[in-house]
Chains A and B, each alone.
Chain A
Amino acid sequence: MATSTVFVALFIFAVILLVFAPVMTWVERKQSALMQDRIGANRAEIFGFKALGLIHPLADVIKMITKEDTIPTGAHRFIHLISPFIAVTPAVISFAVIPFGGSYEMWDAKFSLVVADLDYGVLYLFAIGSIATYGSMLAGWAGNNNFGMLGSIRVSAQMISYEVAIGVTVIGLFMIFGTLKLSEMGVLQQQTFRVFGFMQYLGWVAPGTKWIDWITLPMWGIVLQPLPFFMFMTALMAENKRAPFDTPEGESEIVAGYFIEYSGMKFGLYMMGEWIEVVVISGLLAAMFLGGWSLPWLPEKDLIAFLSKPFGANIANLMAMLLAVHVFFGKVIVLIFFQMLVRWSMPRFRYDQVMNLGWKILLPLSLANIVLTALGILIVQEVTRA
């Protein structure tokens, strides 16, 4: 493995685990407080410094690590022990295939801002996501608790149902881009297309009309597949089991659901896993639907060529790389905020509603989307050939 890959891997690990996950506990508290007209976390302090409540994540960690770790009688000790780790590992390793920048050469070193640029990147994510089911499912069973049992039955049914929807909703996007490689998708999304180009084909405008070339849109996933973007996000959020899809935990019905018998840091691992998954979902959505690391109407190649003139190729690549990282994580942060907004605005769905949404709405709609996309691709091929 090249040194730059190790560097990239450590960078992403640090960003996700040490920055996003702990700070998100604070953001979530503050945002919910804002939405409910409260003040939010503001009590924890070090020598009188409260830092807007930013000390709270630290206090949480100390509390969780020092708390007694209970194992209920009649529990399956080994499975009870490993379940939290099975739950959190997939979340941590799934960011490996999500590119947060392109490929940059500077001073004889090559930086590809993705840990593993796999040819089948999206499939890897789906496979890892399907393994994550075990962590939650076994947790409820191993604790020898009826509420936990109900939770784990709910969680397994829900996650299997939404895995189907997750896989099928994005097939349209794969058909358009013709690749499963997330970094290739990022490059393809830097293209633009002419919105009214079809008018030329139909002969509605005189040949050589200028304004047609001016009105363009970036070929982002959300522009080409607007409905699947929302369906995919819904399915991913359901897979992550956060409100409004948190029937497996459903405090008012089954106390805490599948992780009812966990205390201390093992409980903390479930929370961490959920938060990391929020980041992964945002990263995946940004990479597939929101143009990845690029700004709209600004292909990275042109940007580097433009910057190379005054600054030279090395500095231009460095600047493009820094811009890409900031743009990508900017999009991720916006998507995280959006997910939290949903989490604090919607009441929990009933369990049968969750199932109906997955099987009777998302699945048929995404199947219809595949047919429509295929037709659209045929039409576009016909138009562009002429």
Chain B
Amino acid sequence: MKTALFWIFSVAALGGAVGVVGNVRNPINSALNLVVSMLALAGLYVLLEAQFVGLIQVMVYAGAIVVLFLFVIMLLNLRGSGTSGAEVQPLVKIAGTALVAFSGLFLVRVLASGRAPWPDVDPSYGTTRAIGEALYTDYVLAVQLAGVLLLAGILAAVVLAKKRID
């Protein structure tokens, strides 16, 4: 059951990722493929007993960030005005091909290395409580720094937006 789900989610994640870059005609299709990829990744996290991370993945990435992407695409009405392959610079093309080839090789090596057993973890692993305890004891500095960073980002966004209104 778990293995079957793993394959379904993996194929969906990879297929979605290919769909994101493959859909040069319609940005909405790309965004929707991104949603599929994000949801499949969330499924993989849940399979790895990291339910909290999986749910946050759905809530933040699939539920908020890609919605904002779609919102912007709709607002700017980018229907059918994507860049076609001809306008891409040759250097970018070569770099892209090399990256894809490298990742493909890596994927083949991982798949050939045999099947690792499913993790056998205790039930408290990956729960909200365990993550909260880790975040607010061992990693509290990192959490605070991330908070400051986000605050700076919000303030910058407000300043930029306000300048345009004024």
| Chain A contacts to B: CB under 8 angstroms | 76, 79, 118-120, 123-124, 126-131, 133-134, 137-138, 141, 149, 152-153, 156-157, 159-160, 163, 180
The CB with the most chain B CB atoms within 10 A, among A127, A133, A137, is that of A127
Residue from the list A120, A126, A133, A156 in contact with B128, Cβ < 8 A: A120
Given contacts A120-B128, A123-B128, A180-B128, A130 and B70 within 8 Å (CB-CB): no
Is B64 a contact of A123 with CB atoms below 8 Å?
Answer: no
| Residue B17 interfacial (CB < 8 Å) | no
Give the shortest distance, in Å, between B18 (CB) and chain A (any CB): 17
Is A160 a contact of B62 with CB atoms below 8 Å?
Answer: no
Instruction: Mark B50-62 against chain A: 1 for CB-CB distance below 8 A, else 0.
Output: 0110011011001
Main secondary structure of the interface of B (DSSP, over half): helix
Per the bound structure, the CA–CA distance linking A130 and B59 in Å amounts to 6
Residue from the list A124, A156, A157 in contact with B55, Cβ < 8 A: A124
Across-interface contacts of A138 in B (CB, < 8 A): 32, 70
Is B71 a contact of A153 with CB atoms below 8 Å?
Answer: yes
Give the shortest distance, in Å, between A308 (CB) and chain B (any CB): 31
Given contacts A119-B51, A123-B128, A124-B55, A137 and B70 within 8 Å (CB-CB): yes
Q: List 15 A-B contacts (CB under 8 A).
A: A120-B55, A120-B128, A127-B63, A130-B62, A131-B39, A131-B62, A131-B63, A134-B35, A134-B70, A152-B74, A153-B74, A156-B67, A159-B67, A160-B64, A160-B68
| Residue B75 interfacial (CB < 8 Å) | yes
Across-interface contacts of B52 in A (CB, < 8 A): 120, 123
Per the bound structure, the CA–CA distance linking A118 and B74 in Å amounts to 36
| Residue B83 interfacial (CB < 8 Å) | no
Give the shortest distance, in Å, between A168 (CB) and chain B (any CB): 13
Given contacts A127-B63, A153-B74, A119 and B128 within 8 Å (CB-CB): yes
Across-interface contacts of B74 in A (CB, < 8 A): 137, 141, 149, 152-153, 156
Chain A minimum-CB-distance residue to B52 = A120
Across-interface contacts of A160 in B (CB, < 8 A): 64, 67-68, 71
| Residue B20 interfacial (CB < 8 Å) | no
Across-interface contacts of A120 in B (CB, < 8 A): 51-52, 55, 127-128
Across-interface contacts of B59 in A (CB, < 8 A): 123, 126-127, 130
Per the bound structure, the CA–CA distance linking A79 and B32 in Å amounts to 10
Chain A minimum-CB-distance residue to B59 = A127
Is B64 a contact of A131 with CB atoms below 8 Å?
Answer: no
| Residue B40 interfacial (CB < 8 Å) | no
Across-interface contacts of B32 in A (CB, < 8 A): 79, 138
Instruction: Mark B74-96 against chain A: 1 for CB-CB distance below 8 A, else 0.
Output: 11010000000000000000000
Give the shortest distance, in Å, between B40 (CB) and chain A (any CB): 13
Per the bound structure, the CA–CA distance linking A156 and B75 in Å amounts to 11
Per the bound structure, the CA–CA distance linking A129 and B70 in Å amounts to 17
- Extra contacts, 7 of them, besides A123-B56, A137-B67 (Cβ < 8 A), are A120-B127, A126-B59, A127-B56, A127-B59, A131-B62, A141-B74, A149-B77
Instruction: Mark B26-48 against chain A: 1 for CB-CB distance below 8 A, else 0.
Output: 00100010010001000000000
Given contacts A141-B28, A141-B74, A180-B128, A134 and B55 within 8 Å (CB-CB): no
Question: 3 smallest A-B Cβ distances: which pairs?
Answer: A130-B63, A127-B58, A127-B59
Give the shortest distance, in Å, between B85 (CB) and chain A (any CB): 22
Per the bound structure, the CA–CA distance linking A239 and B55 in Å amounts to 19
Give the shortest distance, in Å, between B66 (CB) and chain A (any CB): 9
